Amino acid sequence: MPVLGIIENMSYHQCENCGHHSHLFGEGGGERVANKYHTSLLGKLPLELSIRLDADNGVSPLITDNTSNISQQYRKIARNIAAQLYLQLDAGSPNTANIVVED
């Protein structure tokens, strides 16, 4: 099964008061995994209470607050997934040109 990329969950915690990012579980893990397996880092999601609360209630952050930072991050990840799907499907198409570089 083709891998579209990596989404780093609980990437950091953002302080509600000052906005500082704390990397509670280390930093750069998603990027290292993406590089190791030659794939893309599709996005990073913070460790945030609202994500858990929305998930526990079976609702999407896009519905509860579609202008929030979390909603914007989910949209970014969705765009990156769509782009990777397009690239993988296009690369597998017989109509896609095969470029060969010769010395």
Could you tell me if 68 and 61 are in contact, meaning their C-beta atoms sit under 8 angstroms apart?
A: yes
**Tens-digit pLDDT profile for the chain (103 aa)?**
778 999 999 999 988 888 888 998 889 999 999 999 999 999 999 998 888 888 899 988 888 888 888 899 999 999 999 999 888 887 766 666 566 777 7
Domain contains 26:
yes
Domain contains 37:
yes
> CB 48: neighbour CB atoms within 10 A?
19
Domain contains 101:
no
pLDDT on residue 101: 76
pLDDT on residue 49: 86
CA distance linking residue 38 with residue 53, whole number of Å:
34
CA distance linking residue 87 with residue 4, whole number of Å:
10
Domain contains 97:
no
pLDDT on residue 14: 85
pLDDT on residue 98: 66
pLDDT on residue 56: 92
Q: Which of 44, 33, 45, 43 is closest to 84 using CA atoms?
A: 43
What is the span of the domain harbouring residue 69?
6-91
pLDDT on residue 74: 92
Question: Per the structure block, which two tokens stand in for 46?
Answer: 């913070």
- Which residues 6+ apart lie within 8 Å of 45 measured at CB? 7, 8, 9, 10, 11, 51, 70, 73, 74, 77
CA distance linking residue 94 with residue 82, whole number of Å:
20
Domain contains 102:
no
